[in-house]
A and B are shown apart, each in its own frame.
Chain A
Amino acid sequence: MADPFEALRRRDVPIAPRTEFADELRARLVPKETAVEHGTVTPYLCVDGAERAIEWYREQLDARVVFEPMVMDDGRVDHAEIAIGGSVLMLSDEFTEIGVRAPTTLGGTPVSLAVTVTDADATFAAAVAAGATAERPVADQPHGVRSGWLIDPFGHRWNVQTPI
């Protein structure tokens, strides 16, 4: 005797749910990206090795490329834009013929970049492991943040901080 329950086997057919439901759910799946703004003042970094630098900032600081590198005939990056959180940074390769020189060529940098991250200790440690130089270790600061200073592999100084 056949098992009568075998007759319950379903051959499923697609069923479209309500359009409003489908649209609402779709909207919930859309990735919530931080809005990116060009501020009134935007840092424009010069680095020796722009494409490697973009990769490093992507990996260490979760940077996203918002303007693909424009590459000159000689292979140098003329202009690129990345976003970290809601802030844009512009960058290019060195153009010493017009005075655009990287910190590694100049032997230091007078400008520092402060970046807010969710875990300054973790970001700092990972950056150092990936070639950055620790300048001042992460510590609690009197003004209410936990932060440290490092020089990235391209010579730029970063103040990596997390509000306490």
Chain B
Amino acid sequence: MEVGEPGRELLAIYDRALPQVYGYLLPRCGDAAVAEDLTAETFLAAVDALDRGTVPDLTVAWLVTVARNKLVDHWRRRERDRRRQDDLEAGAELVEDPWDVHLDATVANDVLGRLGPHHRSALTLRYLDGLPVAEVAEHLGRTLHATEALLVRARVAFRRIYESEGAVDG
């Protein structure tokens, strides 16, 4: 095998893929410095995967999947740090009342940024990315049941902050 061939393959789609990967990450993490770090991690992981021959098909869509994994890893690291300080999960409200509201996108984004990383990643994967619960579970490394419970807690936490913002229109 020619030395460095995989890197060249990736460079060939770099200009097209970079804004797509960054455009996926930036709105979800809301921080340009973090988005840049995760973008770099995504492309460097792609080089490694190409070297190992574990890339099924090098496409922009595949790179966005890698970016999603990096985003989840980032939130998982943040969550671990947070858990050392306190465990808000214990005894969390599990009753979810019906909620008829039209969510304001700007406020919703702000609320997501104020949630704990585990709630934020669950809601991002489920709703912003539109993944089925089973796939969310896979990304988070949790069981289906645990993921459903996490989503309930995440929605309750989201609603609590959203409503306290006074932005309810329904």
Contacts and interface: CB of A to CB of B under 8 A. Distances in A.
Place the interface of chain A in its size category: 20 to 34
Contacts of B10: 29
Closest 6 CB pairs of A and B: A31-B4, A14-B19, A15-B23, A31-B7, A8-B127, A14-B23
A25 B18 contact: yes
Contacts of A30: 4, 7, 11
A96 to B, nearest CB: 33
Interface in A1-19: 1, 4-10, 12-18
Q: Secondary structure at chain B's binding surface: helix, strand, loop or mixed?
A: helix
Interface residues of B, number: 43
25 contacts: A1-B100, A4-B101, A4-B170, A5-B103, A5-B127, A6-B127, A8-B105, A8-B108, A8-B128, A9-B127, A9-B128, A10-B128, A12-B27, A13-B23, A15-B22, A15-B23, A15-B26, A17-B36, A26-B11, A29-B10, A29-B44, A32-B4, A33-B4, A34-B3, A64-B2
A27 to B, nearest CB: 10
B126 to A, nearest CB: 8
B39 interface: yes
Interface of B: 2-8, 10-11, 14, 18-20, 22-24, 26-27, 32, 35-36, 39-40, 43-44, 47, 98-103, 105, 108, 123, 126-130, 155, 158, 170
